[in-house]
Chain A
Amino acid sequence: MTIGFLVLATLTVAGALGAMFFRNLVHCALCLVPTFAGLAALFLQLNAEFVGFVQILVYVGAVAILIVFAILLTRGSEPPASAAVRHSAWWGLWVAVVAFVIMAGTILSSLIMSVAELAKPVPTIRRIGDQLMQDYVLPLEVIGLLLTAALIGAVVIAMQEEPKKNGS
């Protein structure tokens, strides 16, 4: 529990809380950016350089902008008329407590907590590349197919309809 971890965790949680409680949807989306950045910094603190930088590249650089565009292109850009917290907050609290208990129990009883501190593997990116191309090549190709399907689906949805030539 170093001071660095506490600062980063506070930043991440504060960003997430801001994303929940702000009224203006674009403010909520922009509040997610410190959350993503805090997560990336936590990855970097764990010496996972590649994942940390890719988190910034993908989440802050692309997903945040995607969320913001989605908010703008739908109707949610005006501030809502009523308060954000409804009377169903108690149910939400229960669900959050149950989810937290399950996740905390799983993490605390998992292998990671019982193993002593691992030595840092030296050329991490080369190892990631090797693993991707040798052990995990099939999941890599499946993910590629999935992304291609998503891309084609997005283009099909966004494509304008051909105007019909002969009426009807």
Chain B
Amino acid sequence: MTDRLDQIFVLGKQWLLGQLQGWGLLPADFVPLVSALFSIIFIVVVFAGLFAITTVIERKGLGRIQNRLGPNRVGLPPPFPQLRLAGFGQFIADGIKALIKEDIVPRAADRVVHFLAPVALVVPVLLAYSVLPFGRNMTPIELEAGLLFFFAVGAATELSLFMAGWSSRNKYSLLGAMRAVAQMISYEIPLVLSSLTVVMMVGSLSLPQIVAAQDHYTGTLAHWHIFKPWGFAGCILFLIAALAESNRSPFDLPEAESEIIAGYFVEYSGFKFALFFLGEYLGLFAVSGLGVTLFLGGWTAPFSWLTWIPSWLWFFFKLCALIAVFIWIRGTVPRLRADQLMGLAWKFMLPMALWNIVVAAAWHFTHQAGWHLIVRWLFCAALLVGPYLIFGRAFEAKVGKRTYRYAP
């Protein structure tokens, strides 16, 4: 029973393909194509729906953190406007607004590039979803180099930021685009290096195999990578780099309203702005999904007595937990300045990520040398804490007592 619930989407897709073939609508040559099409439809519907709900939850969450209520009036469209639904109809209103707004393109702007920039953002981000394992046997495309594909496609999104900023023929746009591209390039290195430790320990670039390597239980606790010292440090580095890659607070200097008036997409209105917004959030979900896969065990349950819950539901819970953490961080931490942001990437996260690789190697070799688990854990944690303190303090260029300056 739980097995069927676990595989319900796989079985459903196979049933549907079987029905289509039975009715003669589907020649045998087209079956992989239509199967991929069903996966694509599923991904787009689920994640666009998640995007819609997340915008409302984020605004309500931020509101509560800031001691106010978020959107709480918009419920269903007419003929049911009195059903407020606690404000969860806000995304319907926002969607309709984005669709019917006038699409303004500046007269001096480069029309073709201006048009292609949102497309160039959304298409690679949607491609990135195709290698994430959403559940047991539920990876849309099983690639041997799945992780590499994900990073390659994520790198392709940087070009769209530049296209947006440059084609608007606006100084602030270009400045925001330059900052955003510099930020994304800088944070890609810690992102890739922190996931390199996982690849090193698992021995494969294939995401379903990385999840399968975490699918073992000692006692009741699962072998998630986050429970190991290198995995814990790697996860934190990965999540910080993921926040910076999606240009999300506290790294949203290139697009913050009080800084540069929305930066590279200031000249976009209506549906193109909605596409940028969608692309950004979808990118956030994709990289959170990757974080869940690499460090939080993908679709595995944390305790062996919880494996009756379907695997796709676990993935979804973990994804939602990460999104909640990101919303929480957005509401809590102040924005970083441009030089602090770049300094964090190059002077702190890059050395920590490199050192994390060394610690992962230490974990592996102490395992081979036969040390006890607790001793290995404490040893590797101690190896991590020292450089963390050194890099964390030293990148202020002064290793010493902190001085505080107060207004007179």
A residues at B contact (CB < 8 Å): 24, 26-27, 30, 33, 49-50, 53-54, 56-57, 60-62, 64-65, 68-69, 72, 123-125
Please name all residues of chain A whose beta carbon is closer than 8 Å to the beta carbon of B144 when the two chains form the complex. Answer: 49, 123-125
**Inter-chain contact B181/A125, CB cutoff 8 Å:** no
Bound state CA distance, A56 and B174, in angstroms?
A: 24
Q: Kindly name the residue among B154, B178, B188, B205 whose own CB sees the greatest number of chain A CB atoms within 10 A.
A: B205
Q: How far is the CB of A67 from chain B (nearest CB, A)?
A: 11
**Inter-chain contact B153/A56, CB cutoff 8 Å:** yes
Please name all residues of chain A whose beta carbon is closer than 8 Å to the beta carbon of B166 when the two chains form the complex. Answer: 26, 68, 72
- 18 CB < 8 A contacts A-B: A50-B148, A53-B149, A53-B152, A54-B152, A56-B153, A56-B156, A57-B148, A60-B152, A61-B155, A61-B158, A61-B159, A65-B159, A65-B181, A68-B159, A68-B162, A69-B181, A123-B144, A125-B205
Q: How far is the CB of B146 from chain A (nearest CB, A)?
A: 9
**Inter-chain contact A53/B145, CB cutoff 8 Å:** yes
Please name all residues of chain A whose beta carbon is closer than 8 Å to the beta carbon of B155 when the two chains form the complex. Answer: 56-57, 60-62
Q: How far is the CB of B83 from chain A (nearest CB, A)?
A: 47
Instruction: Report if B151 contacts A (CB, 8 A).
Output: yes
In the complex, residue of chain B having the shortest beta-carbon distance to the beta carbon of A40 = B152
**Inter-chain contact A57/B151, CB cutoff 8 Å:** yes
Known: A60-B156, A61-B156, A125-B144. 14 other contacts (CB 8 A): A27-B110, A30-B159, A49-B143, A49-B145, A50-B148, A57-B148, A57-B152, A60-B152, A60-B155, A65-B159, A65-B181, A68-B166, A69-B178, A125-B145
Bound state CA distance, A24 and B167, in angstroms?
A: 12
Instruction: Report if B323 contacts A (CB, 8 A).
Output: no
B residues at A contact (CB < 8 Å): 110, 113, 143-145, 148-149, 151-156, 158-159, 162-163, 166, 174, 178, 181, 185, 188, 205
Bound state CA distance, A142 and B295, in angstroms?
A: 33
In the complex, residue of chain B having the shortest beta-carbon distance to the beta carbon of A26 = B166
Q: How far is the CB of B117 from chain A (nearest CB, A)?
A: 10
In the complex, residue of chain B having the shortest beta-carbon distance to the beta carbon of A71 = B166
Please name all residues of chain B whose beta carbon is closer than 8 Å to the beta carbon of A27 when the two chains form the complex. Answer: 110, 113
Please name all residues of chain A whose beta carbon is closer than 8 Å to the beta carbon of B174 when the two chains form the complex. Answer: 72
Bound state CA distance, A53 and B147, in angstroms?
A: 10
Please name all residues of chain B whose beta carbon is closer than 8 Å to the beta carbon of A24 when the two chains form the complex. Answer: 110
Please name all residues of chain A whose beta carbon is closer than 8 Å to the beta carbon of B205 when the two chains form the complex. Answer: 125
Q: How far is the CB of B22 from chain A (nearest CB, A)?
A: 30
Given contacts A49-B143, A61-B156, A65-B185, contact A54 B148 (CB under 8 A): yes
Please name all residues of chain B whose beta carbon is closer than 8 Å to the beta carbon of A53 when the two chains form the complex. Answer: 145, 148-149, 152
Bound state CA distance, A30 and B162, in angstroms?
A: 10
Bound state CA distance, A121 and B248, in angstroms?
A: 42
In the complex, residue of chain B having the shortest beta-carbon distance to the beta carbon of A123 = B144
Bound state CA distance, A25 and B174, in angstroms?
A: 16
Bound state CA distance, A65 and B178, in angstroms?
A: 10
Bound state CA distance, A123 and B206, in angstroms?
A: 11
Bound state CA distance, A68 and B188, in angstroms?
A: 18
Please name all residues of chain A whose beta carbon is closer than 8 Å to the beta carbon of B152 when the two chains form the complex. Answer: 53-54, 56-57, 60-61
Bound state CA distance, A54 and B149, in angstroms?
A: 8
Bound state CA distance, A72 and B178, in angstroms?
A: 10
**Inter-chain contact A65/B158, CB cutoff 8 Å:** yes
Please name all residues of chain B whose beta carbon is closer than 8 Å to the beta carbon of A49 when the two chains form the complex. Answer: 143-145
Please name all residues of chain A whose beta carbon is closer than 8 Å to the beta carbon of B143 when the two chains form the complex. Answer: 49
Please name all residues of chain B whose beta carbon is closer than 8 Å to the beta carbon of A50 when the two chains form the complex. Answer: 145, 148
Bound state CA distance, A49 and B143, in angstroms?
A: 9
Bound state CA distance, A74 and B185, in angstroms?
A: 20
Q: Kindly name the residue among A24, A50, A53, A68 whose own CB sees the greatest number of chain B CB atoms within 10 A.
A: A53
Bound state CA distance, A61 and B156, in angstroms?
A: 5
Please name all residues of chain A whose beta carbon is closer than 8 Å to the beta carbon of B151 when the two chains form the complex. Answer: 57
In the complex, residue of chain B having the shortest beta-carbon distance to the beta carbon of A33 = B159
Please name all residues of chain A whose beta carbon is closer than 8 Å to the beta carbon of B110 when the two chains form the complex. Answer: 24, 27
Q: How far is the CB of B262 from chain A (nearest CB, A)?
A: 21
**Inter-chain contact B149/A62, CB cutoff 8 Å:** no
